[in-house]
Amino acid sequence: MAESEFLIPPLRPGAGIAVIAPAGPPKPGRLDPVEGWLRERGYRAQLLPSCFGSAQGLGPLDFLAAPDAVRLADVHTAFGDPQFDAVLALRGGSGCIRLMDGIDLGLLAHTRKLLIGYSDLTVLHALRTQADIPSLHAPMPASDWGMPGSDADTNALFARLASGWKAGDLVGQAAPHLLSHGGAARGRLIGGNLAMFCALLGTPYLPAVDGTLLFIEDISEEPYRVDRMLSQLRLAGVLNRIAGLLVGSFSGAESPDAVLADHLPRLRCPVLAGWPSGHGQPNRPLPLGVMAEMDVVAGTLTLC
């Protein structure tokens, strides 16, 4: 099959992957195996300078992997250097949004290299969506690969990188969930981490939301904060304009199911809850920026 027939072309053996740390730093011991993991899967890998932090340290900004200038330069190198065929985030954390107004949007709009990551990477996925270029919400090496119980998610990611995605592909299926309601919906799949998506409101970087399928997930957000963010989306008009809502995992804090059960039935659009993507396990790869059809009754998501 010609690569032009794919929504996301396969990443062939020998492809070059740039590993960047546009957000937080890796925990001790989590950086060393990354290149080896990628080589074992048949890819050429290069860790760019942001992965190694700053020799001078960052003081109170040590929640960042490296200074803004280093992380920004790595984003541009990863997308601009022809030796790289895909861009993989080392981990999430915090810091991507600090880079948004410095990113060369023209550069990002003229390369279809696949961006892989999730969590804080939600804001970079939004830039790809704005440029009408697919990206991949998927497990990252320093936060997921090699962790207990993560093999199925990591294997699913590499299987999809090898096969690519085309129209008609089944993305996955969710089990029946009490919060699901409605029938079917079709639209461009956008979103990611709920907190980071809300952080884009009022900025030039929020993707067009009308008629889309919005995916949300989060970690370590107490129910009152989830309530605040969903209220913010409602008051901003987002929840009245989407075609459907896809709800992933909410982990690492008290369950927000009561909050979700209060908000979601008010939506006029279909809701498919319990989707196997997010900070918890499972965290199956989910393409963003592509057209998809959501069938609530069957629990499926299919690319269009």
Between vectors from CA 63 to CA 57 and to CA 69, what angle results, nearest 5°? 65
Single-letter code of the amino acid located at 258: A
* Residue 28, amino acid: P
Closest among 230, 167, 156 to 194, alpha carbons compared: 230
Per the CB < 8 A criterion, the answer to whether 108 and 77 are in contact is: no
Rg (CA), the chain: 18
Q: Which residues are catalytic?
A: 119, 217, 279
Task: Name the token pair of 189.
Answer: 């799949």
Residue identified by tokens 């008629």 is 211
CA 286, 34, 32: angle at the middle one, nearest 5?
Answer: 145
b/e string for 251-282 if b means 16 or more Cβ within 10 A? beeeebbebbeebbeebebbbbbbbbbbbebb
Helix (H) or strand (E) holding 73: helix 68-80
Q: Is the previous residue joined to 282 through a cis bond, with omega within 30 degrees of 0?
A: yes
